[in-house]
Copies of this chain bind each other. A is one copy, B any other.
Amino acid sequence: MADPRFFAVAGPFTLARLAEIAGAEIGEGADGEALFDDVASLDAAGPGQVSFLDNKRYVEAFAASRAGACIVAPALAARAPAGMALLLSDEPYRAYAAVAQAFHPVPAPVAGVAASALVDATATIGEGTRIEPGAVIGAWVELGRRCLIGPNAVIGAGCVLGDDCVVGANTTITHSLIGARVTIYAGVRIGQDGFGFAMGPKGHLKVPQLGRVVIHDDVEIGANTTIDRGAGPDTVIGAGCKIDNLVQIGHNVQLGKGCVIVAQVGIAGSTHLGDFVVAAGQAGIAGHLRIGSGARIAAQSGIMRDVPAGATVGGTPAYPITEHWRQVAALERLTKRKGGA
């Protein structure tokens, strides 16, 4: 169960209500009126908790779990221990997410501006918004309703944030227009100058960075990630994108809708991604490229050419993923045949 020092809990809920929330079917023989008080992992859950099985690696933990109920795909239901109530779903992780949200709804911020926060007189603050201690809100900033601005966060002059945004502690935002329901974690830097210099042997001449960062609705941006503003065009993050920690997004980059950018990825300047592109951890994408919608980029790979829509690529330099794995296998065979001492 979640540590009550850190997490409030709603409920309890009946199995029937949880099935409804999860969009799941109750497994044979389970009691729809049984009450559950929280979610928990397979090994930590007890009779009063609901767990889930999504990754086949954990089938043994499922079979040994003492969870009172578990969300599971129908194909794996037979591995359940006796007496466990099942919630059958073709998307167990998604179903679990809905159930966990029900037990742990995000509380609305308590409106108000901390005494030590500094809000410029020209800024407009939406109803229900909370500004925590030490935060600094610049001139002409517009904050939507029910936003939460964390302690010591800094929002520079002219920025606009929509309703229900969360800005983490010690975060910095400048030169940005941000939609609704955007969550920005601690230490994120958005809107600083892109890395633009006219390089030369006598010194590198600074190129003024005159664009903005435009972030659409329902985006999440992980801790200590950096997103530079455009050089002239804008840097754009499409609706529903999820960006992990320590990601670098260069000037003029555009992400379509629903992209997933995993930790420590770097996307160089002026590259455009389509919709629902996935870039796994530590991948690097060179500048001025076009990555088609639905493309998938393997962890640590290095993208130096355009990637067609729907393609999966890996390696440095990156190849179509089957070709990449063939190369890995060929190199492995080579040393097996010719291998030294």
- By a beta-carbon cutoff of 8 Å, the part of chain A in contact with chain B is 2-3, 5-7, 39-41, 43-44, 55, 57, 91, 93-94, 96-98, 100-101, 103-104, 114, 116, 118, 132-134, 136, 140, 150-152, 154, 156-158, 168-172, 174-175, 185-187, 189, 192-193, 195-201, 203-208, 210-212, 218, 220, 222-224, 226, 228, 231-233, 240, 242, 244-246, 248, 250, 258, 260, 262-264, 266, 268, 276, 278, 281-282, 284, 286, 288, 299-300, 302, 304, 316-317, 319, 323, 326-335, 338-340
Contacts and interface: CB of A to CB of B under 8 A. Distances in A.
A168 B152 contact: no
Given A157-B6, A281-B284, A334 B340 contact: no
A185 B189 contact: yes
A144 to B, nearest CB: 16
- Do most interface residues of chain A lie in helix, strand or loop, or is the interface mixed? loop
Nearest to A139: B5
A94 B197 CA distance: 8
Given A208-B101, A245-B226, A193 B200 contact: no
Contacts of A171: 170
Contacts of A208: 39, 97, 100-101, 103-104
A233 B192 contact: no
A328 B340 CA distance: 12
B96 A198 contact: yes
B94 A198 contact: yes
Contact of A134 (B3, B136, B316, B319): B136
Contact of A334 (B41, B240, B327): B327
Given A157-B6, A200-B94, A332 B327 contact: yes
Given A97-B208, A170-B172, A281-B266, A189 B224 contact: yes
Contacts of A152: 134, 136, 152, 154, 170
A140 B3 CA distance: 14
12 contacts: A5-B157, A41-B232, A100-B208, A154-B170, A156-B169, A187-B187, A189-B223, A223-B226, A226-B263, A282-B284, A317-B328, A323-B335
A172 B197 contact: no
Given A136-B134, A226-B245, A331-B330, A212 B6 contact: yes
Nearest to A335: B326
A3 B212 contact: yes
Contacts of A316: 300, 316
A40 B93 CA distance: 46
Given A100-B210, A154-B152, A245-B226, A186 B198 contact: no
Contacts of A231: 41
A338 B98 CA distance: 49
Contacts of A6: 157-158, 174-175, 212
Q: Which of A39, A228, A246 has the most CB of B within 10 A?
A: A246
Contacts of A266: 246, 263-264, 281-282
Q: Would you list the 7 A-B pairs with minimal beta carbon distance, nearest first?
A: A94-B198, A5-B158, A189-B223, A172-B186, A41-B232, A154-B169, A2-B210
Contact of A118 (B43, B134, B187, B197): B134
A96 B258 CA distance: 35
